[in-house]
Amino acid sequence: MHDHTVSDWFALRGKNAFVTGASSGLGARFATVLAEQGCRLVLAARRMDRLQALSEHLRDKGTEVHCLSMDVRSLDSIQAAVKEAQSLAGPIDILVNNSGVSTTQRLTEVSEADYDFVFDTNTRGAFFVAQAVARSMIERAKQAADFEAMPASKIINIASMAGLEVLSMIGVYCMSKAAVVHMTRAMALEWGRYNINVNAICPGYILTEINQAHFESDAGQKLISRLPRRRIGKPEDLDAVLLMLASGRSGFVNGAVISADDGPT
Q: Give the number of other CB atoms < 10 A from CB of residue 5.
A: 8
**Among 205, 206, 204, 162, which Cα is nearest to 181's?**
162
The dihedrals phi and psi of 168, each to the nearest 5 degrees, come to -70, 155
- Round to whole Å and give the CA distance between 44 and 244: 22
Non-local CB neighbours of 33 within 8 Å, separated by 6+ positions: 236, 239, 242, 243
- Round to whole Å and give the CA distance between 185 and 189: 6
Q: Is 173 a catalytic residue?
A: yes
- Round to whole Å and give the CA distance between 196 and 12: 16
Helix or strand or coil: residue 201? strand
**Among 40, 41, 8, 38, which Cα is nearest to 249's?**
8
Q: Give the number of other CB atoms < 10 A from CB of residue 48.
A: 16
Q: Which of 115, 173, 194, 205 is catalytic?
A: 173
Catalytic residues: 173
